[in-house]
Amino acid sequence: MLKGDVVIVGAGPAGTAAAYVLAREGAQVYLLERGRQPGNKNLFGGAFYCQEFAELIPDFLDEAPIERIITKRTLTVLGERNWVDYELNSTNFANQPYNAVTVLRPKFDAWFAKKACQQGACLLNNTVAVDLLWENGKVVGVETDRPDGKIYADVVIGADGATSLMARQGGLANPKAHQYMALGIKQVFYLQEEEINKRFRLTPGEGLAREFLGGLPVIGGGFLYTNKSSLSVGVVIQLESLQDKMVQVVEVMEDFCRNPAIKELVAGSIPVEYGAHLIPEGGYHLLPKLYTDGMLLVGDAAGLVLATGFTFEGMNYAITSGIMAAKAILKASRNKDYSASSLKEYKSLLEESYVLPNFRKCRHIPELLANHRVHFAYPEILTKLAENNFKSDAKVRQALLGQINRELTGKVGKKVVLVDLYKAWRFL
């Protein structure tokens, strides 16, 4: 049996951020990791928005295992045999590297956990939390699969991912969240650093984040991120759509990589890693309850992943939630009160930060992105319109409105388009 001030289940960015702050302030913290080391069980596409992290560890760029600083962003709309790119290149991002970087989680998570241990946190690898410990209706620790079994603490932090066992056993999980659960599939391709720079028109240290809309047989999107000498390529698929279409996950990934737009980007590379991970995409309306007597939820366990269609953010929200959870616990420790009425300070801190305000502003986006026309009909129409306007076939060119009308005919009704445009305008 072990006893500490705080036990944290999950050594991802959220749990480790909480451990770092708590240990720095002198709390006795046990940080549990089910893998051989932090990062072994994690899957992450690549873009890490790191402004908040720079406040926690100001010189992290000098020592953290960062892959590249993102200076180029591209949104690609995929048709069947054509595609349209919307690309942003910014020297501002190069001069302000705290905007976003690419990382590989096995390297980054292990480094970050080491930093937390240097502050005094106790990392327990190969440790699985199998149950919560209760006393008089209050969470007082966790039962693990370790020989010493129970770990008691004043507060438990659930940082154990999208399918959080801690959230379910603590009665905090939102039972409707599965409706917007997504599956992320990522493949890492080795490619020489010089070839990546040449292929994506990057200078050494610069990186690309590229998102794809359309081109899949299911509701979802694709991504490609450049690392130093590899590419992180994958898809994020809505689980319900995958079930409705009755297609295999492997088939979706293979179809995506065979698309001409992606095929030319990964040509000559060598696949070295493959994995999958569940992602909570329910947004503000499907967030779980964030606290109860003796326990808080952070990161994916708290549903804090924000997909807007243009960006996909999770690590930054996870780290900020971990920091705010630590601050709430430190305040509660002054009065030795770890009840829900005391720990609700955590939610107040999230409200005062950018986290919950951003989720509230984007609260309708999950519904917008679940619209099947956004993923199937409209990408095909947009790419076809673009192709028509750059094609010369010795015919009288039809006016743009006429072209739109022609492409919509038999695919999407005009009234439906107007309704979708209104919803998009209202949601965004």
Residues 34 and 133 in one domain: yes
Cα separations in angstroms, 290 against 281, 315, 330, 343, 344:
16, 18, 17, 9, 8
Q: Report the pLDDT averaged over residues 83-93.
A: 84
Residues 248 and 189 in one domain: yes
Confidence of residue 45 (pLDDT cuts 50, 70, 90): low
Which among 228, 194, 224 has a CA at the least distance from the CA of 103?
228
pLDDT digits (tens, 9 = 90+) for 238-253: 888 888 888 888 889 9
**Could you tell me what percent of the chain has a pLDDT over 90?**
60
A 10 A CB-CB count for 423 gives 14
Q: How far is Cα 155 from Cα 326, in angstroms, rounded to an integer?
A: 10
Task: Give a yes or no: residue 302 inside a domain.
Answer: yes
Task: Give a yes or no: residue 148 inside a domain.
Answer: yes
Residues 56 and 167 in one domain: yes
Q: Report the pLDDT averaged over residues 278-295.
A: 93
- CATH number of the CATH domain containing 247: 3.30.9.90
Per-residue pLDDT, 191? 97
pLDDT digits (tens, 9 = 90+) for 378-415: 888 888 888 877 766 655 556 665 666 666 666 777 77
pTM: 0.91
Taking every pair of C-alpha atoms in the chain, what is the biggest distance, in angstroms? 82
Classify 46 in phi/psi space as left (phi over 0), alpha (psi -120 to 50) or beta.
left
Confidence of residue 81 (pLDDT cuts 50, 70, 90): confident
Instruction: Tell me the three state secondary structure of residue 268.
Output: coil
Task: Give a yes or no: residue 225 inside a domain.
Answer: yes
Domain limits for position 219: 180-280
Residues 239 and 339 in one domain: no
Structural domain count, the chain: 3
Residues 36 and 167 in one domain: yes
Residues 225 and 316 in one domain: no
Q: Report the pLDDT averaged over residues 371-379.
A: 86
Q: Which amino acid is at 164?
A: S
Residues 141 and 214 in one domain: no
Task: Give a yes or no: residue 359 inside a domain.
Answer: no
Task: Give a yes or no: residue 117 inside a domain.
Answer: yes
Task: Give a yes or no: residue 396 inside a domain.
Answer: yes
Residues 209 and 267 in one domain: yes
